[in-house]
Amino acid sequence: MSEGKSYINAGQKVVTAIDELFVDGINLTYTGVPQVCGLTGYYWTRARRNYIAVLLLCDKGYGVEAQVLVRTMLEDLIDLRYIATDPENLSVRWAEHEGRYRYNHYRKALEAGENPEPPDDLAELLELAARDAELPKKHRPKNSWTPLQIKERACEADRLGKLKGAEHSYGLYQSLCEHTHGSVVAAKDYLEMVDGVTHLVPEPSGYKRVTSLAIATWLLHWTLKALNSIGLQGELDVMELANQYANFNEPTVDDLNRIVVPEVAGTP
């Protein structure tokens, strides 16, 4: 089995294991505010689906393109590490922001003369809107669930020692951003110079699929641990399982920086 296929096989084993772990659904033992349950279910479903999408892309040779989803998984992990510093308060903020977003779309549709389906929780959303309206304008919630930027969220989680082992997540995020934004750095993945002539690379080269999948697996591992710390029941050492089938090393900033340098090209 080729190196690439061994990693794909490992990823498929991980997906099977997590689906077996939650075959009866997601269970929470958290007895605090109900918003924690909604947030946990959202982030776990999103992490699983993003990981499967990365796996499918890498299997077809689109390792470069998969890095956009890897960055999304990394952003979510940074959010979860921050939320784990104060699950009750931050889960309520997150849920209220999501509610405002849905209510504003519903209200704008009504104002446009449309007949949208009312949200199931419309009464709660109206109450939230009324409460916001009573606040002085400068104190009303902004268009975000937290005033902290992503670097500040990562630093706060590091400062409070949440999920030790994932402290360098923001450094990884910075490196991924260098590549996933349309930039000169990313151009080398789509263009190649041969004898002084620039050629397009329209088809997937197959390189970087191992790197992308390895980092996504590490992120899934820590996402599950973050959700376990908030109250999700069902533990699985994703990295230990993956390493039974391929050599998944914990990524460092140096490893991720190599994403922006083409690895040896291979075939999907």
Q: What is the mean pLDDT of residues 223-247?
A: 89
Residues 6+ apart with CB under 8 A from 157: 78, 81, 82, 84, 85, 163
Q: How many whole angstroms separate alpha carbon 95 and alpha carbon 187?
A: 39
Q: Write out pLDDT tens, residues 160-185.
A: 877 776 667 787 888 788 777 766 66
pLDDT at 26: 75
pLDDT at 3: 63
Q: Write out pLDDT tens, residues 201-230.
A: 777 766 678 888 989 999 999 999 999 988
How is the chain split into domains, by residue range? 3-260
Specify the higher pLDDT residue, 30 or 67.
67
Would strands 232-233 and 27-28 be described as parallel, antiparallel, or unpaired? Answer: antiparallel
The helix (H) or strand (E) run that includes residue 192 is strand 191-194
pLDDT at 265: 36
pLDDT at 268: 33
pLDDT at 259: 45
User: Is pLDDT at 94 greater than 70 in this prediction?
Assistant: yes
Bridge partner residues of 27 (DSSP): 233
Q: Write out pLDDT tens, residues 125-160.
A: 999 999 988 988 887 887 788 888 988 998 888 888
Longest dimension (CA), the chain: 68
266 exposure class (CB count in 10 Å sphere: 0-12, 13-18, 19+): middle
Token duo for residue 116: 């949208």
Number of helical H runs and strand E runs in the chain: 11, 4
CA distances from 26 to 95, 102, 184, 234, 235 (A): 18, 24, 43, 8, 12
Instruction: State whether residue 93 is helix, strand or coil.
Output: helix
User: pTM (2 decimals)?
Assistant: 0.85
pLDDT at 5: 84
User: Is pLDDT at 58 greater than 70 in this prediction?
Assistant: yes
The percentage of residues in the chain with a pLDDT greater than 90, rounded to a whole number, is 39
Residues 6+ apart with CB under 8 A from 78: 150, 153, 154, 157, 169, 170, 173
Return the amino acid letter for 18: I
Task: Count CB-CB contacts under 10 A for residue 123.
Answer: 10
Q: Write out pLDDT tens, residues 5-44.
A: 888 999 999 999 999 988 887 777 666 678 888 888 899 9
pLDDT at 223: 94
Task: Count CB-CB contacts under 10 A for residue 229.
Answer: 15
